[in-house]
Structure 1
Amino acid sequence: MQDAVNVDDFRRIARRRLPRPVFDTLEGGAGDEYSLRGNRSAFDHIEFRPRPLADVSKRDLSTSVFGEKHALPIMLAPTGAGRLAHSSAELAVARAAARADAVYMQSTVAAFPPEQVAEASTGKLWFQLYLPRARDETADLLRRIESAGYRALSVTIDAPVFGNRERDARSRLLSRAPWHPQMLAHGIARPAWALDFVRGNFGPRRPGGKQRLTLGQTRSTIMNSSYSVTWEDLDHVRSVWKGPLMVKGLMRGDECARLADAGVDGVVVSNHGGRQLDGVPATVDVLPEVVDAAAGRLAVFLDGGVRRGNDVVKALCLGASGVFVGRPYLYGLAVGGEDGVYRVIELLRAELDRAMALLGAATVADLDRTLVSGARIPPTLSPSKG
């Protein structure tokens, strides 16, 4: 792990350490994976325009979101596959995020309930919500999250059904029992992973419950938690949740005004890491449209395709209030548990700091559209970040 100098190094190590079906679950997308590839390749079409003669002898990477100062604009996205990467799953991620003073947004579909994750962490926690089907369950869950100390809530709106994840369908990872002959063969080939997986008692727990789930039940939990979120549902969540509220999965700007009117505080431009509807554009290509439509009324975050600190800088230049990373920290989790996640965050922090210095930006507030160019970047400057 100490030899890793960037996120891709962690990816290569994780690929060697994880059984192929597990790695494919972390790595894969929906359908032909057009959107998965596009999230990444879109950053290559954005070029920097360094600002000359700027005093960057001291840099400040901190930013303010929802009235709270954060040491980094890099945030850890919610993911539902942590237990497949490491038995400590969300506990390790939360601890690493706290060490790095980075925000961690925990997923509803998690190996550990929110109270246990909050108890393990001294850092800033946000929560991603898949709406339960019963409104009384929603209110109860939100009260639990608030009591545990989670500071912001994000409702996922892009998962009315499970995406067509063909890598998972081919491997049948989530439908086969761990003792299936093919799964046993994969485990024997990766003994370190297999021992850690056994230590994790064969799968995640239901959030807040004691019952362990099989891999097939995990998939069912994700699918059954995902259904159409309506404006009425959003109004109900807003009436119960008193803290900052976001929606995750927005891929167009024309709904921003209505979201702001509904009391939403922020949006996450996300295509679910290319794992839901294949054929949607890259998130960084949609980001300027959403930022302009938000017009400063909403904090706008980016999720998808980020592998470098340079990618973070590009998104911030385009008006993002913060940038979520998912697969990068899962690679670190698979390679080194808590220490691996922390190392990934620190690598991204160092790349962010270096890129800002070379670009001529001493603070995050100095990053704007004058510092980047690309065919899909509007010429206007972004509104102030939330």
Structure 2
Amino acid sequence: MPHHIFCAADNIEHDKYHDCKQSYYRIRKLSDELCSEHNLSVIIPGGERGKKYNEWQADKNSSAWKTQIRKDINAAIKSSSTYEEFLLLMRAKGYEIKGETFGDDALKFISFRPLGKDRFVRGSIKSLGKEYTKERIKERIELKRERKAVIPKRDYAGKRLIDTSDEKFQNSPGLQRWAAVENLKIAAQAYNEAGSIKELEQKIATTAATEKEAKQTVRKLENRIKDLAEIIKYAEQYKANKAYHTAYKKSKNPDAYFRKHESQIILYGGARRMLEQTGIPLKGLNIDKLKAEYQELTAQKKELTATYKNCEKELKSLNRKLENLNQYLGRTEPPKSAQEQPDRDNNPSR
């Protein structure tokens, strides 16, 4: 946000500038318009007024989880060029999202649930603030775009620049003109979709970070799913054999009863020890609830796996565009088979 300096005296009418609240808002509006015209940043009001004291204090200490949600939303908006990409980034951070769609049948509010939390937080004016409703989030992403991409009718995104150093191009002016036009189209699409090399490099870094974050979250989910599967196994084993243990304790001839139902009693004892070690309360043990959590975590893992695979695909496309732009602008040499060898080495067949 730049500073604007102006003379306090009117050189034509010789009037003096008098400051008031109304003139402040006019100057701010004019400043925002000038910044937008010159592709400079515009400060968006945060809608932070009207907080309770304990929330304000928690925000100040950076301990409120709502504050973290706002930070993650702001970071995702900053790194996204579309609303769909914003949703991908938030899910890659481990958030479960509902109510994100628009339409007559859609939920009124978008809601976010961080990994490890029990409840969703609404993206409403009352809960997170006016800057965090789904309509405003989409609007903020659209306002952030500095230019509209002009997409050629033919898709050149997956093409490499044509290497015109080959002998057949040197001996054919017509082939050279065709290659020059094709290379221009490839570079133009890459530039239109990226905006600039700096923006493209930033996009590559953001996508790579999203992929890494999604993979890390998937690993955490896999560990939790594995542990939960063990807990469910022992819980079912505990419940199935509890009656034998109870009867064994009440039996008039415990030794004979134990010999007859030895395996069930041993299974019960082992399951009980494992559940106690993991901190699962045996009183009111709810296997259905554990299975519901297992299914929920499995669904989250599936969604995040799709996210990082999409990121891998997008990274490949973005790196191709950067390579084409660098080559077209003379910043790199045309790719050789030897240069592509490290890519094959980084993907072991084992």
Instruction: Give the TM bin, normalised by the shorter chain.
Output: under 0.3
> What TM-score comes out, normalization by structure 1 length?
0.21
Higher helix share: 2
Whichever of the two has the greater Rg, that structure is 2
Tell me which protein shows more strand as a share of its residues.
1
Using the size of structure 2 for normalisation, the TM-score is 0.23
